[in-house]
Amino acid sequence: MKIRHLFFSCLLLIALAAEAAPTVELAARESADKWLKIVDKGEYGEAWAWCAPFFRVQIPREEFVSALTQVRPPLETVESRELVRLFYTTTLPNAPDAHYVVIQYKTKFSGRVEPAFELVTPMLINSEGDPVGVSEDPLTTSGEWQVSGYYIQ
């Protein structure tokens, strides 16, 4: 009887662990999608303000606005944006250990024949604006997903 109880307890834990990542990824994706809508409207200063403090310290507002002003307008409007992949991680190159979700989209713009690929990386931020530590559970920690990286190719 004890073995059977242990077996079902293990199955429950495995099921809960499998459910955790999609929940985290979904919350991060919702944040990224909202942020991309701001970028799509050409409100680059507003998009910068929505970024994680870590990002804003690394890239000044004027530099961010200037870069997007050069890159996005020639692409014109978004016709479609399709999720290619997303994954949760706690480590990224040249970034502090934190909770991240890396999201890749295949985006069709009206001003470009070939689709572009956008990479958006939200990170989980606590109420003080600091990255939530990797020792903290992203499902039970109160925080907000904010964009900490954006790349378009």
- Residue 21: its pLDDT value, please? 54
Q: Whole-model pTM?
A: 0.83
- The H or E element containing residue 65 is helix 61-71
74: in domain: yes
- The three-class DSSP label of residue 77 is coil
Is there a domain that residue 11 lies in?
no
What's the CATH code of the domain at 50?
3.10.450.100
Inside any domain, residue 95: yes
- DSSP class of residue 103? E
9 occurs within a structural domain:
no
Which helix (H) or strand (E) is 53 found in, with range? Answer: helix 53-58
- The predicted pLDDT at position 26 comes to 93
Residues with pLDDT less than 70, the chain: 1-21
**Helix, strand, coil % (nearest 5) of the chain?**
40, 25, 30
Q: Domain of residue 112: give its range.
A: 20-152
Q: Please write the tens of the pLDDT for every residue from 92-108.
A: 998 999 999 999 999 99
Is the CA virtual torsion 129, 83, 95, 38 positive or negative? negative
Is there a domain that residue 100 lies in? yes
Among candidates 32, 101, 37, which has minimal Cα distance to 72?
Answer: 37
In a domain, 75, yes or no: yes
Element containing residue 72 per DSSP (H, E): none
Domain contains 14: no
Closest to 141 in 3D by CA, of 119, 123, 114: 123
- Number of domain units in the chain: 1
Q: List, for residues 117-129, the tens digit of each pLDDT value.
A: 999 999 999 999 9
57: its two tokens: 């310290």
Judge whether 2 lies within some domain. no
Q: Nearest CA to 99 among 32, 145, 61, 66? A: 145
